[in-house]
Structure 1
Amino acid sequence: MLGKMVSMISEDDHQLMLAWANLVQVHAVMRAELSRRLEEQADVSLSEHEVLFRLSRAPRGRLRMIDLAELTLQPKSAITRLIERLVQRGAVTRQQPADNRRTTYAVLTREGRALFDHARPVYVQGVRELLGDHVTPADVRLLRQRLRAVLNGLGVWADERCDPQPLTDAAP
């Protein structure tokens, strides 16, 4: 029965399944290698780097914890633990407005900016070597267009998450 089901898959569907498998593989390999490089060369995890990146682009270097969770596509509990590690390192502080004690902001410190500035070249070089060395700039533009189409089709494209722009007043 399984053999008949497999044979009923069209060549287009077969290629689609293979493309998905390859995308998952690229993600897993790149994530593991970027994590290794960041931890060895910059003493920061890949998740910490992403949080520092998001905070470095935020106005006044601060974001509500709920917004940080949404931007990084992580559960609130995971962001809470991650921010706690960064607070212990002095890279981030927490702020609660006096008029709304239910809201908590994560705020990038000078130490956090320095940590991000130290880690960023390791990250950029890693992405360049692991991805950029194997595709052309035109391929990258096409890949981004196609991935945007998928994210739009799923209703989850958000410019602030998927296409963040640097802000001039972001640095603490």
Structure 2
Amino acid sequence: MTRWLDEDEQATWRAFLWTTRLLNDALESQLQRDSKMPHTYYMILAMLSESPDRTLTMSQLAQIVRSSPSRLSHAVNRLEENGWVTRTKHPTDRRTTLAELTDEGFEVLKAAAPGHVEAVRRHLFDPLTREQVTQLRETLHILLESLDTEGECRDDARSTSSAGSAQMNSTS
């Protein structure tokens, strides 16, 4: 038997659906307009910037940014063409490919971060009180726990670090 949403649940679902869609669209538009890059590229650069030696295996990177290997490979190809990322074989395992954020890529990320953080702040945090931010975080952690059965996102979501570990105070 189908457990249909009641009126309150339906209103909540639609508010969540439209809010997440509009928030993603706003962040995508800001990054495209100001930095000429999609949010996906920003996320890849940010995750690499937070990693030791600014390097991850392609498998690790795919898992962190929740991307299929083929989609990630396509994105990293573009980032390589821009000179923002390099790929090399792992020194002890030739089957493993490493993605490394270049100095140029790090500078691009540092330049993009202030506008991105401002957009996140304006669209997500400024309309909320401190108490509402805490409630939102707690609610999102509950949902994340039920969705992330492998525990792949939980540690990252609970982390206090932000994209670009060079103290540039950005977000992913």
> Percent identity over the alignment?
27
1:140 corresponds to which residue? 133
User: For 2:60 and 2:45, how far apart are their aligned partners in 1?
Assistant: 14
Consecutive unaligned residues in structure 1, runs of 5 or more: none
Indicate which of 57, 63, 68 corresponds to 2:61. Answer: 68
**Distance in 2 between residues matched to 1:165 and 1:103, nearest whole Å:** 29
Query: Which residue of the partner structure matches residue 79 of structure 1?
Result: 72
Q: CA deviation at 1:156?
A: 4.8
Q: Which structure has greater helix proportion?
A: 1
160, 163, 170: which one pairs with 2:158?
Answer: 163
CA RMSD of aligned residues (A): 2.3
Q: Is 2:14 the counterpart of 1:21?
A: yes
The equivalences for 1:22-41 within 5 A come to: 22-41=15-34
Question: Which residue does the alignment assign to 1:90?
Answer: 83
Give unmatched runs, 5+ long, in structure 2: 167-172
Deviation of 1:34 (Å): 1.1
Q: TM-score, normalised by structure 2?
A: 0.84
Dislocated runs of 4+, deviation >6 Å: none
Alignment length (residue pairs)? 162
The offset of 1:99, in angstroms, is 2.5
Cα–Cα, structure 1 residues 106 and 163, in superposed 2: closer, same or farther, change >3 Å? Answer: farther
CA radius of gyration, larger in: 1
TM-aligned CA distance change 1:59 to 1:164, over 3 Å: farther
* Residue 123 (structure 2) aligns with: 130
